[in-house]
Structure 1
């Protein structure tokens, strides 16, 4: 919540405009507390959101920091060790070998479309300004949300260490030149070879019959991921041990949910904070790899992978 282009802002949760006075903000907070309190028939989840919103904007100091720093372009893109790397990383710890640019296509597409939406000839000082982002059409906010989700996952897998290799934004067939037909991340390490989908649907998700459902979900994300992994596996001559869907912590009820086999592949849905744990230990039932098999899989993928 609050950190997604698809989610409500702290002001939205408190049902006030961003330029509200301090006294009006305080009255709105008290009203929203009464309305959402579980003891008076309110929604417990909303009650928690109201409290979190107040923590962010309830004092002049906190509000100033929120207004100043709550932009969606604040986090710098991660440093990558492989193809497309721009500068050496400042952090000298051993990192995973990484290829491709996570979130790159979607971030660039967002920048192109948001300028088109604002209008030609209009000066756009900050394309990541929260007010601008939240007023943009849903498909633009979704592009940026997914780009940020992919970058967040990339930071986590980069810290797994030199025993891991990662490919980002991998083309996976589909219509010629269609960048939407891609695998967000492929991770190879001692626990196995995994395909990852990084998503932000802007709200809680549920699972039904091996698939994600929720208000912000269109299509069948897990089925689509598995289909794309099969395309990559056939092209590279490799065998994936499993598929992992990575979601914001607040959008899942359990940090790790293992679904068993779905269409012949082991699948897990994990909160972002639990991803490193899952990749180090592996998904239950997935094949671990080691020795020459790791080298062979890495070589095959490097020779075959194309990026969107």
Structure 2
């Protein structure tokens, strides 16, 4: 809520302009509370959003922090297209000496690079772009540009979560499936004792539901689960490995259940999970998935290392 480039801002929820003075902001908050209160016929979900918006901008110091970025530009990972496949580490974690998952590739790298390219084109040649992550600028960009940034942020957040799984896991990010189509990629491949999983990181900027093994919702375009399964099968054939299942990860606020297992799609078990519950799912596996251990774990990792190319 509020931290996605695709979602409404705190100011949108309160019905004011971002540069409104503090007194007008306070009046707008009280009005929106009355309008959305469930006891007066308002929407309970909107009532909660109004309260959350006020928590973010009601205090001058909090409002200043929110205006500086509220998530869009924080902890931005560096991206160097010619850097090969470096070992990735989340920013701000240099003091953490705990063993972490082995991680390769650049999470969100392709989409963040594409976002910067399209943002510069949209702003226009000759225009100085001091901060491409400025919230006021991001909110006014076309949805297809904001979607790129939202997905990049989602992939980076998932990378931080799976990095904490520990040294028994290996993760590949931004894995190319078809060299002719840069957008045809797997966001993450995770290998550990519970199995080998293809993971999709998504942020549609709105709640989603599931029906017949697929994600649906006003903001959902195409068939994300079907595409994920098809790409996992392509990597499976190329590397001669078997995936244990596929997992779609979304922001916690956008899923109805923390974990929802959808059964099998084209032979692969499928689960949809909120981001905070992803590590638990990867540690225990999903129903119908196959554990991998011993020499097989080493063999699968070797095959993937020899096959994986990055977007």
Task: Please classify the TM superposition score into its range, dividing by the shorter chain length.
Answer: over 0.9
Q: Is the CA contact (8 Å cut-off) linking 1:71 and 1:129 kept in structure 2?
A: no
Q: Give the alignment partner of residue 112 of structure 1, picking from 107, 117, 129.
A: 117
The alignment's TM-score, normalised by the length of structure 2, stands at: 0.94
Instruction: Give 3-state SS (helix, strand or coil) of 1:253's partner.
Output: coil
Aligned mates of 1:78, 1:95 — CA distance in 2: 19
Note the C-alpha offset of 1:74.
1.2
Aligned mates of 1:48, 1:75 — CA distance in 2: 28
Extract structure 1 runs of 4+ deviating beyond 3 A: 85-89
1:84 aligned partner: 86
Which ranges of structure 1 fall in alignment gaps of 5 or more residues?
none
Q: Is the CA contact (8 Å cut-off) linking 2:252 and 2:275 kept in structure 1?
A: yes
Which ranges of structure 2 fall in alignment gaps of 5 or more residues?
none
2:133 aligned partner: 128
Distance 1:294 1:64, change over 3 A: same
1:23 aligned partner: 23
Instruction: Give 3-state SS (helix, strand or coil) of 1:172's partner.
Output: strand
Q: Is the CA contact (8 Å cut-off) linking 1:71 and 1:128 kept in structure 2?
A: no
Q: Give the alignment partner of residue 259 of structure 1, picking from 245, 262, 281.
A: 262
Aligned Cα root-mean-square deviation (Å): 1.7
Give 1:219-238 correspondences, 5 Å limit: 219-238=222-241
Aligned mates of 1:200, 1:69 — CA distance in 2: 18
User: Any idea what the Cα deviations from partners look like across 1:217-253, whole Å, max 9, x if unmatched?
Assistant: 1100000000000000001000000000000010011
Instruction: Give 3-state SS (helix, strand or coil) of 1:239's partner.
Output: coil
Note the C-alpha offset of 1:289.
0.6
Note the C-alpha offset of 1:76.
3.3
The alignment's TM-score, normalised by the length of structure 1, stands at: 0.95
Q: Is the CA contact (8 Å cut-off) linking 2:88 and 2:104 kept in structure 1?
A: no
Q: Is the CA contact (8 Å cut-off) linking 1:5 and 1:144 kept in structure 2?
A: yes
Q: Is the CA contact (8 Å cut-off) linking 1:157 and 1:276 kept in structure 2?
A: yes
Aligned mates of 1:191, 1:102 — CA distance in 2: 22
Q: Give the alignment partner of residue 288 of structure 1, picking from 264, 280, 291.
A: 291
Q: Give the alignment partner of residue 186 of structure 2, picking from 158, 170, 183.
A: 183
Aligned mates of 1:131, 1:87 — CA distance in 2: 29
Instruction: Give 3-state SS (helix, strand or coil) of 2:181's partner.
Output: coil
Aligned mates of 1:132, 1:76 — CA distance in 2: 17
Q: Is the CA contact (8 Å cut-off) linking 1:83 and 1:98 kept in structure 2?
A: no
Note the C-alpha offset of 1:70.
2.0
Note the C-alpha offset of 1:86.
7.5
1:74 aligned partner: 74
Q: Which one is further off, 35-44 or 251-260? A: 35-44
User: Any idea what the Cα deviations from partners look like across 1:147-206, whole Å, max 9, x if unmatched?
Assistant: 000000001111111100001111112xx4211101100000000000000000000000
Q: Give the alignment partner of residue 140 of structure 1, picking from 135, 145, 154.
A: 145
Note the C-alpha offset of 1:21.
1.4
1:166 aligned partner: 171
